[in-house]
């Protein structure tokens, strides 16, 4: 964008800062990976050069998969993320659609309410929520997190989708209505298909948010067989003062893989979801 003055300028303005950012952002992941394949005698020897592995081993992965409930945690995490994403997408659409395209009494109040629930963070709610879940006798069930995650995801989905819903020209909907489509059909057959990118963005973003959730899972899931990956890793791979570093890193890496894969397939949609709140469409 700015006229360059040869390689020197480009080095200073592009390559050096780029290298800095890449190293700074990715080093922890490299560290995670390398620690997960180091044998304990290398891990706990401060005299060995730590940046490379001398004798790589898969022992930590084998231990993680055979001696802990890691696979169960992964299953729980995926199940909860998929269910809550689906629920939030449907309810988010049902909230966002009328707010974006209809005129009706009470619209302003609902819009403000949704914005408020989007911005009011979970930390204000977790203590009363813990008591409510207790009274409903839902402690140590996945239902507890399936009920609470959508409180974070629905306002987000509704907010994000409203922008997409608004962008569909009214004429298209009116044409369908003249051809005899009901309001509901105009929504499902005309507007929603045109908003597929928005639905994808909201879905992917919600999915990563659900995978990232920790506070509710930590409070509600105290039994090993119902835990999610982040809670299981932090509570069961650290016992008292003993940190199972190799297994911790293996769990962190394997736990990040599903999100990273989905992200890699839908980078553009994820970025669109990320920036939709900030950049006017």
Partner 1 sequence: MSVRPAPLARPAPVAGRPLSLRGLLEREGAFSWIMLAPGVLFLLAFVAYPFFYGIYLSLQDRPVARAGVFVGLANFATLLGEGVFWQVTRNTFVYTLVTTVLKLVGGLAMALVINQSFRARNLVRAVLLLPFIVPTILSTIAWMWIFDPTFSVINWALVKTCLVSTGFSWLGNATLAMVSIIVVNTWRGIPFYGITLLAGLQTISPDLYEAAAIDGASATQRFWHVTLPIIKPILIIVTMFSVIFTFADFQIVYALTHGGPANATQVFVTYAFDLGMSGGQLGMGAAAALTLLPALALVIVVLALYLRRE
Restricting to residues 193-232, which ones interact with partner 1 according to CB under 8 A? 208, 211-212, 214-215, 218-219, 229-231
The per-residue b/e assignment along 3-22, b for 16 or more CB within 10 angstroms, e otherwise, is: eeeeeeeeeeeeeeeeeeee
Contact between 102 and partner 1 per CB under 8 A: yes
* Cβ neighbours of 170 (radius 10 Å): 10
- Hey, which residues between 176 and 195 contact partner 1 (CB under 8 A)? 182-184
- Hey, which residues between 53 and 82 contact partner 1 (CB under 8 A)? none
Contact between 106 and partner 1 per CB under 8 A: yes
Alpha-carbon distance 117 to 233, whole Å?
Answer: 30
Alpha-carbon distance 65 to 254, whole Å?
Answer: 10
| Closer residue to partner 1 (CB): 194 or 263 | 263
| Closer residue to partner 1 (CB): 32 or 53 | 32
Contact between 110 and partner 1 per CB under 8 A: yes
Taking alpha carbons only, the member of 192, 216, 253 closest to residue 129 is: 216
- Beta carbon of residue 202, minimum distance to partner 1 (angstroms, whole number): 14
Question: Which class for 220: exposed (0-12), middle (13-18), buried (19 or more C-beta within 10 A)?
Answer: buried
Among 23, 58, 62, 115, binds partner 1 (CB under 8 A): 115
- Hey, which residues between 1 and 30 contact partner 1 (CB under 8 A)? 1-3, 13-14, 17-18, 21-22, 24-26, 28-29
Among 37, 158, 190, 195, binds partner 1 (CB under 8 A): 158
Contact between 163 and partner 1 per CB under 8 A: no
Taking alpha carbons only, the member of 85, 73, 80, 79 closest to residue 207 is: 85
């Amino acid at each position: 964008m700015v006229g360059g003055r040869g390689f020197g300028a480009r080095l200073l303005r592009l390559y050096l800062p780029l290298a800095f950012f890449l190293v700074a952002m990715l080093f922890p992941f490299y560290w995670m990976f390398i620690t997960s394949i180091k044998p304990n005698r290398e891990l706990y020897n401060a005299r060995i050069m730590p940046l490379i592995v001398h004798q790589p081993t898969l022992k930590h992965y084998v231990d993680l998969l055979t001696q802990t409930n890691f696979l169960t945690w992964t299953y729980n995490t995926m199940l909860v993320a998929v269910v809550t994403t689906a629920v939030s997408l449907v309810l988010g659409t049902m909230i966002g659609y009328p707010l974006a395209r209809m005129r009706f009494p009470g619209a302003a109040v609902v819009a403000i309410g949704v914005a408020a629930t989007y911005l009011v963070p979970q930390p204000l709610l977790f203590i009363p929520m813990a008591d409510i879940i207790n009274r409903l006798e839902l402690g140590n069930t996945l239902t507890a997190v399936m009920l609470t995650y959508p409180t974070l995801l629905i306002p987000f989905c509704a907010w994000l989708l409203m922008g997409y819903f608004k962008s569909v020209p009214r004429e298209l909907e009116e044409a369908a209505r003249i051809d005899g489509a009901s309001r509901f059909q105009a929504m499902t057959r005309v507007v929603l298909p045109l908003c597929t990118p928005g639905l994808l963005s909201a879905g992917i973003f919600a999915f990563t948010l659900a995978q990232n959730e920790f506070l509710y899972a930590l409070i509600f899931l105290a039994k090993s067989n119902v835990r999610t990956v982040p809670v299981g890793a932090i509570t069961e791979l650290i016992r008292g003062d003993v940190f199972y570093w190799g297994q911790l890193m293996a769990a962190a890496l394997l736990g990040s893989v599903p999100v990273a894969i989905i992200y890699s397939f839908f980078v553009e949609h994820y970025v669109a979801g990320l920036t939709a709140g900030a950049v006017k469409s």
